Structure 1
Amino acid sequence: MFQGSSSFQHKPKGFTLGLGLKRVALGAFALISALSFNTVQATGTEFAGCMEETAGFAVQCTANDVRIAGVSSNPDGTPKLEILDDGCAYQGDTVQFTATFDIETTSKERHDIGIYFVTDGDPNNDGAQSGQCSISTLPFAPSPPWLDLDGTNDPFPGTSGPSGVQDECGDISKPDFNPLSPTFTLTATCVDPDNDGQLNLPYCTSWRQSGANELCVNPSDAYPGSPSKCKCDNTFNIPIAVPPAELLVSKSVNPDTLVEPGGNATFTVTVTNVGIDPSNNVTVNTLSDSIYGDITTAGHDGIISTTCSVPQVIPADDRNPGGVDTYTCQFTTSIVGNAGDVEVDVVTATGVDDNGNVLTGDDTAQVAITDSAPSITLVKTASPTQLPEPGGLVSFTMVIDNTSAASSDPITITALIDNIHGDLNAQGDCSVPQVINVGAQYSCTFSAQVSGNAGDSETDTITATGTDDEGNTVSASDSATVVILNTPSSIEVLKTASPSSFDEPGANVTYTYTINNTSSVDSVTIEVADDDKLGSIAGQGTCSLPQVIAPSGSYSCSLTTYVAGNGNTSVTNVVSVSGLDDDGEVVSAVDDATVNILNTPPAASLVKTATQAVVTYQVSVSNDSDSEALTITQLMDDMFGDITVVAGNIQSTTCSVPQVMQPATQAGDSYNCQFSAIVTSSPHVNNVTATVIDDDGSQAIQPTDSASITFE
């Protein structure tokens, strides 16, 4: 197949393009034919002039013998096409790609098929008849799939006998070699005149018939056998996306609402060249509005003034509104209407880019005519705004003003609703309905009980609702807040002891604790009650915490404990009680109780008996084997347990495991330690056992020894 590209100088038909040799007279033909012409190779796809420039004569491509049916498809239906660069970024960009095309014939056979694709975007709109093209031919071998009808029989141009040179421009015939599907690598200008989003690739095909079939060894040799032996299609598309040039239009209005019967509104129009071709300007030549017509002139259709004008050349930039790629203008109009009317109008910008593409863009803005709405204000106050807990009576006053803009808009108040105290009609001196003229006001007062704990607040919101004389609803709200202040709370604690005196060395004493809430408002929660001698009394005797004590209430509990001391002394206990009232304030109190310890004359006797002794045991373990080191892993006494741990009757120890003993007769072949333990019986015998292992996994050995203790 022909792929790749080669550049060359186009030669007039007086030259053999494939060989770069001038045509020679027939008399010199023998010399030329003696050259090694069968080594000449086709040069693949060439980039040069189109069909008329290549043929050297004008063509009238009216036949339909050979055509390009389209790009071939893969088995999954995708096109056999590969884009070799970044594709078409914009109209006028170039794209390089490789594609397989289906070439069809309607005739029995045709020779030297030439395939011309435009590379310059077809500015002459004649397919590939004129301008700049890529020129390709069909492969001639191998067969199949390709077809060679000519072999070496085609004559040199201007001669009649066989050239003896292989014709390298492939042929086509039906049915066996139809269609044929060559693959070409092409470079094309990105154009899309039919605006279908795909690359337009105009082409022409050429062919020859027997009898007018000269030697063809290069693509540029494949020109029509006569002016009519060609077909051109300037609408041929291939599936490569071509982004269209674009205009982005934005329209806004200020204000977007007007109170009836209307007024002036200013429309702002921006037109942005959002194409990405940096060299493709857009010239805007019309700016029109669906209601106001041409917005570049004032004095018609309600346009009062305008800054808009055309033509406007808008270059490409960053594709975002604002900057050099955006044109902005304004026009002001007079809008008249009734309440509820909405004016919706569309501005349209039309222009043409440097590639000749016509562009349009539009946007919508709307202005609504609104009613002249009624309005009222409401101010609510409370007196007093603060109360000590638990609360009291508060007077609430409201003042309603008619603030409507229209002087003929009296308002009838039909409802006064408080979010806490409900419908205020007939509360205090408040009543509805009430008619309030513009600039006038209505006021009334009602009283209500407000209660709570310290720190609480009550916020009342009154909403007044009514209508104007046109039936439009109007309402207003306001709030007033009353704060509940704290009333300080207090407690006291009384502590008594029974008995208050006793003989030495001591006796059981019952302490009684009484906690009084001396506040008339707040309950208190007792959370802490600590005795400086007994610690927290919670959980001792009948005492438990926390305890909630109502206003003016009390809580009592008692506990019994042994109190000891020398004669002629006393013991004083102090209790501290604290907690929180229901406002979170801290309350506390302290009290004490004293007991006296009376003296008792002394009396004594003495008997001495030995009942126990602390014995120090010396332990020595030796390695009796001179062949290997041994490891002590455990030292256990049958009376005292593990002698490496201070526990139970063991008071101290220097013993620890593991211990490694070197082979017998070497330094470190024994381990010595001692431990001290309490012995409580006599005579006393105990055994110490050591667990000893080697490093070969042999069964552990357990040497043991005993010691005997006797009290005297």
Structure 2
Amino acid sequence: FGTLTLAAPAFAQTCLVETYGKNVQCTANDVRIAAVTSTHNLDGTPIATCNIGDRISFVATAQLVVGSTSSRSNIGMYFAKDNQPGDGGKAGGGALTGSCFRDIIPPGHPSLNAFCTGPGTPFSFCTGNQAGTSTQTLGSSNYTELDNLNLAPTPDNCGDGNAGTTQTIDVLVQDVLCEPISLTNPKLRLPNCVSWQVPGSTTLCQSPSPTYPFQSTAVPGSPSKCNCGVLEVPIIVQRAAIDVSKVANPTTQSGTDGGPVNYTVVVTNKSNLGAVTVNQLCDDKYGNIATATTSPAQPACAAGSLCASPNNVAGSTCATSISCSLPATLANPNDTVTCTFTGQIPENSTITDTVTANAVDQQASPLSKTATATASAGDAPSTATLTKTFVGTTAGCATVRYQAKVHNSSGGDETLTLSAVGDNAFGSITSLHGDSHTNNSVVGTTCGVATGTPGSGTLSGSTGGGAFNQTLAVGGSDYSCQFDGVICSSPLTTITLPNGATCTGIQHSNALTATLAGDDGTGETVSQSGGSLTVFECFDATSQ
């Protein structure tokens, strides 16, 4: 059933403090409305729902409890019309101040038809003066009058309560705002206060029939004689709403140059009023995640603060791997749509970004909700990778060990005297000269070194071939020595080996020379043959 509303706005009434005319402390707590057990429209039909933000009027069936050991009189009730924050306790608010609807407990069970002044006035069920079709009545299941102020013809008639009793009362609540207890509790929130007096110390409270309106004499007997709270009324507040959650994975990037971070956004229909349609997802750091094509068009998402040119303009994005299909109609409560995207976060930073989901309800009224997620990245380590590869051998040197021999090949008994040996390429081979990277250098020798004496340079571990002069007899021993000669080439060339193969290397030709004299003392020339040599040195280079 729908909500029956007033034909015209109800007259705004004051709440407890303004009605009483002074501040209250509400510490006695002797009387309270313990619960509202059912609700009805003013025409008597049940009321189960209201639309958020509407103003509604209804009759509440409530449990009124007198918890004190003494009876209480002239009970007044105050219901906040504008859903004022707070509960009237120490923090104030609620039905203490602001705009309220006020009630007393009337005698008997007056019908809501008594409020009618003519057809349709002030309620749609009215058919005439004090006549209508409402089946709803007001009053108490156990009306109590304790004040002996029966002053004819109008005695005290504001209802009271005996000690330790509970009354079931039907009380009028008029023109209050339809708002829920919370987003998770959809029941109607109704701040209220109750006031009372002590029998024997009461003020005469007389309310005129047939409607028995609230009387200003039904106020607290003292500043402490009141009790305030918030009623949870069994009227479900219908509202369109969405909820949004956002999760970052990973939440911490360690030892890397920032992101990427994968984000998951879930939009949920939290409405109890029907379907909602999600049209847009905007992120304050990454810009436009998804925007549906609608008429009129959705406003462009603001540029993401982490986006660089050309993506740092409204409607653009620097997110990647976006998966988000909009519009998405969520037909039923708790239906969801999931969107995912990847965003890069800077090195050595903590980023909390906010996503905003924009949607509409079935009446095209806008809905919006935000959610945040936080991710961080440490300082990336400073590293370098060195790479070295082999291209080829372009120049090279080799140290070659040569054996030098001089043999007396004369006929008869001709004796030769050897006074020196040398080489046409290396020059002197009896002394060290040059170095290991200079062509035609000699870096070690036993030539010209006395027998039993260590050689020079790289041949210091060998013994000398013999000092000069050396006598060479026909058929006698040869003169033999070694030297280490350095051969170099830059660039290396392709050489052909004696077996016909080729390689990259050095081909070096040289010839041994000797200074010889015959034994006839006439200075004859000693004919020399042989002593030539070609060395082929190949460079076989590999890398690893």
TM-score range, shorter chain: 0.3 to 0.5
Q: Which has the higher contact order (CA 8 A, sep 6+)?
A: 2
Greater fraction of residues in strand: 1
The alignment's TM-score, normalised by the length of structure 1, stands at 0.30
